[in-house]
Amino acid sequence: MAAACLAHAQQPVAVNASFAHIAFGGTHTADLTDTWSTEFVFTNLGKSPASLGLRWFAYDGQPLAVPVIVGTRDTSHWFKIAPNATLNVQIDDSIGGLTQGWVAVDIAGPVEGQGIYRSHVTGRPDYTAAAPMMRHGSQGGLILMGGGIPVTTIPTPRSLAVPFDNADHATGVAFANVTDVPQTLALDFLDNGGAVLMSQSIPLGPKAHVTFSTNDPRLAGSRGIIRVNGDGSPYSAIAFIFGTGANSGPFATLLPTVH
């Protein structure tokens, strides 16, 4: 890992990029997962050293102290990445119960990366899924999706379509408000034929995070999309699909598309 951790870096206010979800530790009996771990891989594609910061947030938007392997447990971690070098940041899943949240990524330099999610179920192989992150610099007015990908600079409201699959599977979704002001997301669940099965609103406080399973009885056995309408403020979104029954254990990430 050709990178150096910075002990005293100035913390930016703006969120340059983000991952909508992190998870580590504990036992998550809802999906039969004993432990979760989250890892991030960043590569400096430039010819000069690049700076990278990770700021961790809990459900209520408050800073979250996260334990990093071969590092500290802190609410933020800061690094320098050498030219053409790769930085691996892995959260320690051996400390405490299941903890979830999201992470803001602050980047100075041509850095690309992805988040890697791993689940370990006793007596089964480990399963892994990944979500990309793309740097969007100082551009404003962006909606973020699936790990911080900038999808539009057009003034919102805009809508995202997050796939869900509850036919022999279970789908979990996560949203993060990457701003310092409250916002509300309006969700419509549509089947593959375009019929609205149900709707709900998701209020998010400043820097807040929410994750839930799409297990409402009205969605049982259905596949389709979750149409997400925001109020113009940036947010992150991601979905995970889990196997159930005989296929229990494997999971994958589902990235949103833009309407």
- Over residues 60-104, the pLDDT tens digits come to 999 999 999 988 899 999 999 999 999 999 999 887 788 999 999
Q: Is the bond preceding residue 157 a cis peptide, omega within 30 degrees?
A: yes
Q: Which of 139, 151, 136, 227 is nearest to 185 (CA)?
A: 227
Largest CA distance in the chain: 54
Beta-carbon contacts of residue 227 (< 8 Å; ≥ 6 apart) = 159, 160, 161, 187, 188, 189, 190, 259
| pLDDT score, position 161 | 79
Strand partners, 8: none
Q: How far apart are CA 64 and CA 259, in angstroms?
A: 33
* Mean pLDDT estimate for the chain: 80
Task: Pick from 37-46, 128-137, 242-251 the range whose average pLDDT is largest.
Answer: 37-46
User: In angstroms, rounded to a whole number, what is the distance separating the alpha carbons of residues 75 and 226?
Assistant: 32
CB 51 within 8 A of CB 87: no
Of the ranges 28-42, 123-137, 200-214, which is most confident? 200-214
User: What's the rounded Cα separation, in Å, for the pair 94 and 26?
Assistant: 8
Distance CA 4, CA 87 (A): 9
In degrees rounded to 5, what are phi and psi of residue 31? Answer: -120, 25
pLDDT surpassing 70 at residue 28: no
Identify the pLDDT of residue 77.
Answer: 96
Handedness of CA 227, 231, 232, 234 (dihedral sign): negative
pLDDT category at 56 given cuts 50, 70, 90 is very high
| Residue in the block written with tokens 């399963």 | 127
Instruction: Walk me through the domains of the chain, giving residue ranges and CATH numbers.
Output: 13-258 (2.60.290.11)
Which pLDDT score is estimated for 42? 94
Whether 55 and 136 have beta carbons less than 8 Å apart is answered as no
CA dist 173 to 12, 170, 227, Å?
Answer: 28, 10, 12
Higher pLDDT pick, 53 / 235:
53
SS3 content of the chain, % helix, strand, coil (to 5): 5, 55, 40
Check residue 12 and report its DSSP letter. P
Q: How far is residue 241's CA from residue 172's CA, in Å, rounded to a whole number?
A: 6
- How far apart are the C-alpha atoms of 84 and 46, rounded to whole Å? 6
pLDDT score of 206 more than 50? yes
